[in-house]
Chains A and B, each alone.
Chain A
Amino acid sequence: MTKLYTFLKYFFITFWTVFVVAPFLWAVSTSFKDFQSVNSKVTYIPWLDFEPTLEGWRVLIKSPAKGGVDIVEPYFNSIFVTCTASLISIVLGTLAAYALSRFTFKAGFVRNNDITFFFISQRIMPPIVLSIPFFIFLSTIGLLDSLLGLVVVYIVLLMPIAVWIMVDFFNRVPKELDETALIDGCNPYQAFYKVVLPNSIPGLIVAGMFCIIFGWIDFFFAFILTFTEVQLLPVKVVALNSSITPWWSLSASALVSVAPLIIVAFVVERYLSKGNLSGALK
Chain B
Amino acid sequence: MNLIGEKISYKPDEQFHLNDVSFNFKKGNLYTILGRTLSGKTTLLKTIAGLLNPDQGSISFEEKDFIKIPVWERNVAMVYQQFINYPHLNVYENITFPLVQRKLSAEQIKSDVDEALKTVGLVGFENRKIQELSGGQQQRVALARSLAKKAKILLLDEPLVNLDYKLREQLREEFKRIFSEGLSQDTILIYSTTDPQEVMELNGEVIVLDEGKVLQKGPAKEIFENPTNLKVAEISNDPPMNVLKGSKNLKNLNFENIFLEIPNHFKNLEDKDYNFGIRASEVKLDDSGEEFEIELAEISGSETLLHLKRGNSKIIALIEEVMNFKIHEKVKIKFNENKFYAFGEDEKLVSSPYGGSNG
- Main SS class of interface, A: helix
Stretch at the interface among A147-155, A176-184, A230-238, A242-250: A176-184
Q: Closest approach, in angstroms, between the C-beta of A274 and any C-beta of chain B? A: 13
Q: Closest approach, in angstroms, between the C-beta of A186 and any C-beta of chain B? A: 6
A184 lies within 8 A of B149 (CB):
yes
Q: Closest approach, in angstroms, between the C-beta of A204 and any C-beta of chain B? A: 13
B101: CB under 8 A from chain A? yes
B78: CB under 8 A from chain A? yes
Which of A176, A184, A198, A199 meets B98, CB within 8 Å? A184
B71-84 Cβ-contact flags toward A at 8 Å (1 or 0): 11110111010101
Q: Closest approach, in angstroms, between the C-beta of B51 and any C-beta of chain A? A: 5
Which of A176, A186, A279 meets B84, CB within 8 Å? A176
- For B89, give the chain A residue with the smallest CB separation: A198
Q: Closest approach, in angstroms, between the C-beta of B226 and any C-beta of chain A? A: 36
A191-203 Cβ-contact flags toward B at 8 Å (1 or 0): 0000100110000
Chain A contributes a number of interface residues (CB within 8 A of B) equal to 20
Also in contact, A176 and B145, with CB within 8 A (given A280-B87, A280-B88) = no
Also in contact, A184 and B80, with CB within 8 A (given A195-B86, A198-B88, A280-B88) = no
A186 lies within 8 A of B88 (CB):
no
Also in contact, A179 and B51, with CB within 8 A (given A184-B149, A199-B88, A280-B88) = yes
- For A179, give the chain B residue with the smallest CB separation: B51
B97: CB under 8 A from chain A? yes
B70: CB under 8 A from chain A? yes
Q: Closest approach, in angstroms, between the C-beta of A106 and any C-beta of chain B? A: 12
Q: Closest approach, in angstroms, between the C-beta of A56 and any C-beta of chain B? A: 48
A183 lies within 8 A of B49 (CB):
yes
A187 lies within 8 A of B80 (CB):
no
- For B70, give the chain A residue with the smallest CB separation: A187
Residues of A within 8 A of B73 (CB): 185
Residues of A within 8 A of B70 (CB): 187
B131: CB under 8 A from chain A? yes
Q: Closest approach, in angstroms, between the C-beta of A209 and any C-beta of chain B? A: 20
Which B66-117 residues have C-beta < 8 A from chain A? 70-74, 76-78, 80, 82, 84, 86-88, 97-98, 101-102
Residues of B within 8 A of A199 (CB): 86-88
- For A173, give the chain B residue with the smallest CB separation: B87
- For B78, give the chain A residue with the smallest CB separation: A183
A156-184 Cβ-contact flags toward B at 8 Å (1 or 0): 00000000000000000010110111111
A180 lies within 8 A of B78 (CB):
yes
Q: Which of A176, A177, A183 has the most CB of B within 10 A?
A: A183
A186 lies within 8 A of B87 (CB):
no
A184 lies within 8 A of B145 (CB):
yes
A183 lies within 8 A of B76 (CB):
yes
14 A-B pairs (CB sep. < 8 Å): A174-B84, A176-B82, A176-B84, A177-B84, A179-B71, A180-B80, A180-B84, A183-B98, A184-B101, A184-B149, A186-B101, A195-B86, A199-B87, A199-B88
Q: Which residues of B contact A (CB under 8 A)?
A: 46, 49-51, 70-74, 76-78, 80, 82, 84, 86-88, 97-98, 101-102, 131, 145, 149
Q: Rank and list the top 10 A-B pairs by shortest CB-CB distance, nearest first.
A: A184-B98, A185-B101, A198-B88, A182-B71, A176-B84, A185-B72, A180-B84, A176-B80, A183-B78, A187-B72
Q: Which residues of A contact B (CB under 8 A)?
A: 174, 176-177, 179-187, 190, 195, 198-199, 279-282
